[in-house]
Homo-oligomer: A and B are copies of this chain.
Amino acid sequence: MQLISTQKSKMDDGQSPIDPDATLQLEAWLPYRLFRISARVADVLNAFYGPRFGLSRSAWRTMAIIANRPGVSAKEICQAGGLDQFAVSRAVKQLVELGFAQRQTGRSDRRYAAIELSETGWAAFSEISGLAERLETELVHAVSQEELDVLNGILAKLDDASAGILARGWRGVREAPEAQEPKSEA
């Protein structure tokens, strides 16, 4: 119950009048900063494909995964998209009902259903992904090419690290060291 104050607290931009304690600043918390950016863009994209095609978020994600690897099974979609089997099953169902995807029972193993996009599915996908790419372009225009290169490397590392964190769960997080200086280690 004791407050372990952060010492990294980066200088406040001077907008908050009072700073009660040097506790966690939500807006400075890296995962939250990443979340905000992605959520805003995802919201905008969702505002397009939702009304336009009647797709839910997980249906769109599933569609994108199918588009990337035609013939995937539901199981593979789970792993690739970080979705659970139920979400995928329902998303595929929705896509099929909307006429965007087709299920074909696997040839060798008939438990697997090979899923792929229909013609209209491809049309919808390319419309949505066109917007998605323009959104990304607009985002990326805010930084230099140099920064972007660095960012790519950083995100790759953070992605690995986050996978490790998720795999170990909160019990697996190292016990609080008072010093949390991200010493550069290459």
Contact B139 A158 (CB under 8 A): yes
Assess A3 versus B126: contact at CB under 8 Å? Given A23-B68, A34-B155, A134-B179. Answer: yes
Contact A154 B163 (CB under 8 A): no
A5 at the interface (CB under 8 A from B): yes
Contact B70 A7 (CB under 8 A): no
Interface size class of A (residues with CB under 8 A): 35 or more
The docked-state distance in angstroms from the alpha carbon of A18 to that of B142 is 30
**Dominant SS at the A interface?**
helix
Contact A29 B136 (CB under 8 A): yes
The docked-state distance in angstroms from the alpha carbon of A127 to that of B29 is 15
Contact B176 A10 (CB under 8 A): no
Find chain B residues with CB under 8 A from A135 CB.
31, 165, 170, 173
Number of copies: 2
Contact A143 B158 (CB under 8 A): yes
Our pick among B14, B122, B176 for the contact of A134 (Cβ within 8 Å) is B176
Contact B26 A61 (CB under 8 A): yes
Within residues 127 to 186 of chain A, which ones have a CB less than 8 A from any CB in chain B? 127, 129-148, 150-155, 157-163, 165-166, 169-170, 173-180, 182-186
Q: Mind listing 11 A-B residue pairs with CB under 8 Å?
A: A4-B130, A4-B133, A6-B133, A14-B70, A15-B70, A26-B65, A31-B136, A33-B159, A139-B161, A143-B182, A147-B153
